Each structure stands twice: as C-alpha cells, then as structure tokens.
Amino acid sequence: MTLLRALRRTVDSFAVKLGILLVVFFSVPMILYDQFEEADRQQRTLLLDSVQRQGNLVAQALVPLLSEFDAAAVPRVRQTIERMAQPDVSIKLMLRPSNEANRNSFFYIASVPAVPVDYLQEERAELIETGVLDRLADTCGGGRPLAVEYTNPKGQVEVLTSLTPIDAAMGCWVVITAHATDGIVGQSLARPYWQMPEVRFAGAVYLTLALVVLWLFTSVWRNIRGFAGVARRIRKDPGTQRSFSEMNRVPELNDVARSFDDMVRDLRGTAETMRRTAEENAHAFKTPIAVISQSIEPLKRSVPADDLRGRRSLDLIERSVQRLDVLVNAARRIEETVADLLNPPRTPLNLSALLEDIVDEYQENARTTGDRRVVGRIDRNIPVRVGADMIETVMQNLLDNALSFTKPGTEVVVTATVTEGRVRVLVDDQGPGVPPGDLERIFERYVSIRDDSQRMPGAGNFGIGLWIVRRNIEAAGGLIRAENRKEGGLRMAVELPLAR
C-alpha cells in the first residue's frame, strides 16, 4: 500500500506530468518524422525508377539510329530526343569513341534544349569532376537511376536523374536526363525531406502548438509556485499584506486564491481571538484569586497560634490558592501556545541579545533558590525568525525546570552557537538526569516524573512546561531533545533555523 501510495503521488505530481508532456512533444515528432521520411525514401526510389525507365525509353528509341550512326543520322537523333523531351527535363547525348577508355573521352553529341558549345564544354568538365562518368570509363554498362545535384554553367541547380549507356560499334553512347530543381521531380529529388515545404509547415504548426501548451503549463506552474512563495512569506512574516489573489495571474485559479486568503484571514483571526481570550480569562480569574490571597493574611493573624486545626485549614487554603494561580497561568500559556501554532510570530530577532537578557534576569532568582547560578556562553549576533515572546516562554520553562533539579551550589549553563547553518541552544543542569526510557515522555502533556522533594516552592509542576516548549520550538521550524550528560545532569538541546 505504501508503494502504491508513493507511486500515485509521483504520477499525480504536476512536475512529473510536465516532464511526460515534454517527452511526448519531443518523441512523437521524431517517431512520425522517421516514418514519413521512410515513406519519402520509398517515394523517391519509385520516382527514380520511373525517371530511369524514361531514360531507357529514350535510349531504346535511339538504338536503331546509334547502331549505324553517321553524319546523316544527326538530325534524326535530335528529332527523336526533342519528341521525347518534356518541360523541366533536359536530355543530353554523349559519346565515348571505341578507341578511348577513360572518363575524359566523353563528348556531347546532342542536347535538348539546345545550348551553346561553350556551355556543353563547361558542363562536361563539371560532370567529369563530379565522378558521374567514372563507372562508364572502362565498360559501357552500369546504367542506373541517380539523384546527383549539381550547378550548370548558367548557375542553375539541376538534378541528374538517369544515366543510360548504349554500346554500339562507334563507341559508348550515354543518354543523360536532368530535371530542374524548380520542377516537381527536381524538388522531390534534390531537397532533403526536412526541407520540404509541407514538412516545414507541419513543423512550424507543431512547434507553435507545443510552445502554447508548454506556456499554459508553465504559467499554471509559475502561479502554483507563486502560491508557495506567498505561503512562505506569510509563514515567515505573519504581518505581510501580500495575498494569494494579488499574486494570481490565472483567472481559473481566482476561487482557489480567494479560498486561501479566507483561510489565512480566519487563522489569523482565530489566533488573535485565542490570545485575547486567554488574556481576558486570566485577568478574570486573577482578580478573585488576588482577593482571596489578600483575605488570608488577616485571617492568619486572627487565628490563635495554638489553634492547629485552624492554622492547617488556612495553610491548605493558601496552598490551594497558589495552585489555582499556577493553573490559571498554565491555562493561559496553553491557549497562547495553541494560538502560536496557528499563527506563529516569525519576526527577525537577535537571539544572542535576548538570551543574554534572560540569563541576567535569572541570575538573581537563581541565587535566591539555594545558591544556584545561571551562566551564559552565548555567541554574538545570532539571527533567527522567531517571536521574542515564544523564545522567552521556551527559556523560562527550560530554566525553571533546570533550576528545580540542579543541586544547590552548582550552576545551569546556557550555550548558544551556530553549527552548519542551524542555531543550537543548550541548557545543561547538574541534577539527577532522567531515566533513558522517559527522555521522550517528559515532553508529553501532563507528564511529570519528579517527586515532592524536587518541586520548587510556588511552582505547580503539572507536566505542561516541556510540552509547551516542544510545541513552540516545532512551530518555529526547530527541534528539541533531551539527553543525559556523561558528567551528570540533563541537557536540553534546541535547534532553530538560522535567519538568512
């Protein structure tokens, strides 16, 4: 099932579909081009065979005249050639005397249409240079269809289409047919298939279609990537005014963009409402708690010292009020944490300065709790994108936890460094540590493994402090883990992304 799910996600990927589309656009034309080119080759072969048969017909018509050739036969030879000539086709007759046996021995006897002698001499030299007559140099055989393109003395491009030898007593006669490239046969034989007008037109249409489709895909892709960019900016800076609707350029995605904007607005509103409600509820509860606390003092003075039962009742009421005060604070922190998860503050922050201030504030509190000290070893100017309130809540919980476990006369060390593009904050105490099996459990909600001797005066220790810490850190894109130190005590290791 996992493999099928991963395969489905891959197939449904927009990038994969775009890649498949590109493969199709490139492969289909190549396949079709190969097929059409093969068909064109077969057509060219048939056309050359037809031209060769035409040359053979001319040669067969000339055989009776050339077998007993003399000066009187020249006009009849020319008339025969003219009768069989066609528009855009030139027919030339060459002779190699019987006592000669090389390619330079061929000479023009007739030509239709007629051309000057100088023209024929230049063309003869061109044919010799191209090697067309080489196969007839030693024997008067080897007639074959051709598709040799050459430029005649007039600068016009022609295609030699057939070469038909006739062996006679006077020597080796050769009938040569040539087609002009501006004719249909010449165009079909002289041009490569990819230069054919219909192929170029089809290629232009296909390329235009491919560009349009790719433009549509890339525009949607760019729009989706723009949505991701807006989401990242909102995540990094919740106060940004950039909206999905402003970024969207595809009308069909307007409803999606508006839905995203509505969702962001609702999340921001919900988070703000939760923060405001938490503050109002805490204030509402704090007032009667403060009244009760103030009322206990005159009651304690009015109860005689020997009234042990009354004294125990007042002590119980006082501890309960303190516990209720801690519960109210804890409830407020939980609600604020949930609000931060919905809309975490991501404003730029100098973490080094904030940690130094927190360590300084805890110095005095640590001395009043069994002479425990808080020491900071903090690198300077460490930038992060986390809200100051969030960091203060995290450090308050971590330091309160560490001070409650560390031994009197020892110290809690706060270290902050940058390693491999990540910010690393360590809080080391010198307490008893945590059983290995409970290193993950201590981050669970309402889990506390301390005994009564490890509870700090006035602290509730309800098992939500580290749960709040983990939720805040993860909401900021970081990690936190607990590990026992080799030299004794517990280490809380926090990692946060470095602001860039």
Higher local confidence (pLDDT), 450 or 269: 269
Structural domains of the chain, ranges and CATH numbers in brackets: 45-185 (3.30.450.20), 345-500 (3.30.565.10)
Overall pTM > 0.85? no
pLDDT per residue as tens digits for the range 343-364: 665 567 899 999 999 998 887 6
Which of 207-216, 242-251, 482-491 shows the lowest per-residue confidence on average (mean pLDDT)?
A: 242-251
pLDDT per residue as tens digits for the range 38-60: 777 777 677 667 766 777 777 77
Higher local confidence (pLDDT), 315 or 496: 496
Q: What is the SS3 assignment for the chain?
A: CHHHHHHHHHHHCHHHHHHHHHHHHHHHHHHHHHHHHHHHHHHHHHHHHHHHHHHHHHHHHHHHHHHCCCCCHHHHHHHHHHHHCCCCEEEEEEEEECCCCCHHHCEEEEEECCCCHHHHHHHHHHHHHHCCCHHHCCCCCCCEEEEEEEECCCCCEEEEEEEEEEEECCEEEEEEEEEECCCHHHHHHHCCHHHCHHHHHHHHHHHHHHHHHHHHHHHHHHHHHHHHHHHHHHHHCCCCCCCHHHHCCCHHHHHHHHHHHHHHHHHHHHHHHHHHHHHHHHHHHHHHHHHHHHHHHHHHHHCCCCCHHHHHHHHHHHHHHHHHHHHHHHHHHHHHHHHHHHCCCCCEEEHHHHHHHHHHHHHHHHHCCCCCEEEEEECCCCEEECCHHHHHHHHHHHHHHHHHHCCCCCEEEEEEEEECCEEEEEEECCCCCCCHHHCCHHHCCCCCCCCHHHCCCCCCCCCCHHHHHHHHHHHCCCEEEEEECCCCCEEEEEEEEECC
pLDDT per residue as tens digits for the range 219-248: 777 777 777 777 777 666 656 666 777 777
* pLDDT score at 7: 61
Average pLDDT over residues 211-217: 80
* pLDDT score at 422: 92
